[in-house]
Structure 1
Amino acid sequence: MMAVFRTLRRNVPYLKQQLCALLGNTSNSVKLICFVVLISYALSYWDLAVEVISVTPGYIMPPLRLWSLFTFCFMEIHFWEVLIDIVTVGLCGKLIEPLWGPVEMLTFFAIVNFGVGILTTTFYFILYYCLNDIQCLYNVYIHGLAGYIAGVSVAVKQIMPDLVIIKTPLGKLSNRNVPLSVFFLSLIFKIVGLVDGTYPTMYFLGLIVSWIYLRFYQKHSNGTRGDMADYFTFASFFPNVIQPPITIISNSIYNGLVKIGICKRNLRKFDMTNPSGVTISVSNMDQHDMERRRQIALKALSERLSKSYSDKQPLLPLSGSTANVSLPPVVAQNREESSTSQNVQEAVSIPIPSTPAVKATSEDT
């Protein structure tokens, strides 16, 4: 324990510098979340605090520890998980908050974490009834921002789906592949023992909750809700090989939800009576998707043009420019001499009247 504190004390200046660079120009809500996570990590060395702040399935029923559904997301046991949480929340403040606004970002934070707490508790109740193991109720502590990390990966996939993160010999890793890749990585970490047993469950349920909210219920500035784009279907999270069966299953569930009124069907109208041709009226959600893609394309084009302009600056100013360019002494001297000689020639040049031609004699030769 003392060695850990000594290591942290030596790296405090570096960590402070990196955190200031990450959290700079972010909202107060982002900084508050990071601060509460750090305070909760300090309390994690007290076992009673871990039990009180975390969700224990057997104690969640009212009037016991119902408040833990609102506090469990801030509790982390491992310091490297705290760093991942802070980096995730900071990137959310840099990438997502400027597009959504601080209120929508906090709404997304609350909905995802609360939904993950409810569904994870339900999962361990089902596990208890299947295994008849009392430890599933009273020896399990649900805590951390694993569900919110999954939600941020889904939101980044929605905003920038085609952005390539890294190129490998096996192919390109883009934002489309991040959510499912991190889920399988969490399973490996669970087998190795780097994360708790609840981490993969919370992450997977975070994928489900965040996708449902962003797909059907998120309210946009133009009054529409959700994002019914084709690239944001549930099957798009999986590899292309297994997308057809996933599409059949997800469409069947979606049609069932539409029949009972939980979801609304996305309709496209075709006007065949238009004499000038066929008029297609796309939904507002598709228009929102096209507008978002247009803004991202314009931003990328602007950055590329500014970079190209900075790389191709002229070495000398254009004619009529007032910029001063320092030249080497020899070049400057030669330039002054040529300018002086040119001025002298212009001043001495006097027109001479033409005279009749004189016949050359032998003395001229």
Structure 2
Amino acid sequence: MNRYLPVARQHFLAALASTSVVVKTISAVVVLLYLLAWAVDTSYALGVTPGYLFPPNFWVWTLVTHGLVEQHVWGVAASVGTVMACGRLLEPLWGALELLIFFAVVNVSAGVLAGLSYLLTYVATFDLDFLFAVRIYGAAGFLGGVLVALKQTMGDTTVLRVPQVRLKAAPALVLLLLALLRLSGLLDSCAPLAAYSYGALSGWVYLRFYQRHSRGRGDMSDHFAFASFFPEAVQPAVGLLAGLVHAALVKIKVCRKMVKRYDVGAPSSITISLPGTDPQDAERRRQLALKALNERLKRVEDQSAWPSMDDEEEDDDDEVRTDSQPLLPGGHDTSSSAQRTSRGPSGASLSSTSPSSASQSGGTASPSGVQHPESSIITFEDASSRS
């Protein structure tokens, strides 16, 4: 274990040095508040308490600070790791300012929605513990928003190979893990589960409808639909319900309706584009297609057996030796036995050899004294001219 700690520390310092001021500042504040928690109850003063969030107390500053408060060292590691992942994966695509806006939107939205949920629970049960005994703090809400953003940009990336888990399934898997931890008693409160759920939801709403980029606002692509976060068996039902909710939100002008845009001034032809079809998404799909094509070509090349140059040269030599051998044992070609017919006054006439001449030609001896067998090839002789 001691052998890997210096390597991990070196990689962490290198990653921290390559990040922006926003990432470094958030990480430093998380560490400082953790050290301060040894002397002061930071979860009470800076965390969201549902009874103090709403009037008459109205502790609104806790909506900004609750995502930076940690009480345990593993919480500090999770918080700093989440921020570092944003700096390495999302900040090059968005920029430091957009990352800071996303951090603020997710944390504030998660704090408001979680506090409102506990307030409604108190209205239903009249239990004051849901108002004043609950503390909402930590990086759970921001972690949910970050996983949703990574699903949007790197959804096809494989996280685990055995079993094969892709990044697009990470938000649902982490939610299931937190639910199991709560049911098993390892989590003493439902606050992390609620904060994570609302953080993921608020991050999706912001990225889906409100984030500004080069092609306009939001991401209305099919792979980032709300139903894509659920298993395929329930996606049709979830998609229908999400469509009804979206239609209702469009009527009250909370969300905008998806529209098509036509670029008539394009130089070649009409270009049809949908909001959210970012060039980065197209580049990601192109890289995946090229990778699949290269793997298929490599597989075909491995299965093909290419002949060697030596085998081709031996085949050429055999063909040359075969062509140079005579067709008949006597060394004469069959073409030499054919003779042109004489042309008389009445025209050219052909006559086949008589049996006697065929037998004579078959029994003729070669100059070397070897008698060749009788040939079955028909020869032509000059016909006698008629007077």
Q: 1:81 aligns with which of 45, 55, 75?
A: 75
SS class of match (2:168):
coil
Against the structure 1 CA distance between its residues 129 and 31, is the aligned structure 2 distance closer, same or farther, given a 3 Å change threshold? same
Work out which of the residue numbers 122, 125, 134 in structure 2 matches 1:128. Answer: 122
1:250 aligns with 2:242: yes
Match of 2:52 in 1: 59
User: Are residues 269 and 117 of structure 1, via their aligned partners in 2, closer, same or farther at CA, if it must alter by over 3 Å?
Assistant: closer
Instruction: Show the 5 A alignment for 1:220-235.
Output: 220-222=213-215, 224-235=216-227
Does the CA contact (< 8 Å) of 1:43 and 1:50 recur in 2? no
- Is 1:43 aligned with 2:31? no
Shift of 1:296: 2.8
- What residue number does 1:203 align with? 196
Alpha-carbon distance in 2 for matches of 1:298, 1:247:
27
**What's the CA shift for 1:19?**
2.8
Corresponding residue SS for 2:276: helix
**CA–CA distance in 1 between the matches of 2:192 and 2:225?**
24
The number of residue pairs the alignment matches comes to 287
Rounded Cα–Cα distance in structure 2 between residues aligned with 1:123 and 1:31: 33
CA separation in 1, counterparts of 2:8 and 2:39?
24
Cα RMSD of the aligned pairs, angstroms, is 3.0
Deviation by residue 1:9-44 (Cα, 9 ceiling, x = unmatched): xx9967643431331310011011111111111122
Which stretch of structure 1 is more off in the superposition, 117-126 or 292-301? 292-301
Per-residue CA distance 1:205-239 (angstroms, 9 max, x = gap): 111100000000001134x1000000100000001
The one-character-per-residue Cα deviations of 1:246-296 (angstroms, maximum 9, x if unpaired) are 01110000111112222222234799xxxx99x67232433x2xx113333
**Aligned-pair distance for 1:301?**
8.8
Which of 254, 258, 267 matches 2:259? 267
Per-residue CA deviations over 1:75-132 (Å, capped at 9, x if unaligned) read: 1112112111111110110010000000000000000000001101001001111111
Per the alignment, do residues 263 and 88 of structure 1 end up closer, same or farther by CA in structure 2, a change over 3 Å counting?
same
Residue aligning to 1:184: 176
Measured in 2, the distance between the counterparts of 1:200 and 1:295 equals 35
Inter-CA distance 195–86: structure 2 relative to 1 (3 Å threshold):
farther
CA offsets 1:117-157 (integer angstroms, 9 cap, x no match): 11010010011111111000110111011110000000000
Matches within 5 A, 1:319-358: none
Cα displacement string for residues 55-76 of structure 1 (whole angstroms, at most 9, x for unaligned residues): 1111123545221111111111
Aligned match for 1:103, one of 97, 100, 124: 97
C-alpha separation in 2, matches of 1:258 and 1:94: 35
CA-CA distance at 1:183 after TM superposition: 0.5
CA contact (8 A) 2:220 2:274 kept: no
Aligned to 2:367: none
Structure 1 unmatched ranges of 5 or more: 1-10, 305-365
Q: Which residue of 2 aligns with 1:312?
A: none
Task: State the Cα distance separating 1:190 from its structure 2 match.
Answer: 2.2
Aligned partners of 1:52 and 1:65 also within 8 Å: no
Length-normalised TM-score, structure 2: 0.68
Bigger radius of gyration, 1 or 2?
A: 2
- What is the distance in 1 between the residues matched to 2:149 and 2:247? 24
Q: How much does 1:192 deviate? A: 3.4
Q: Distance in 2 between matches of 1:280 and 1:255?
A: 27
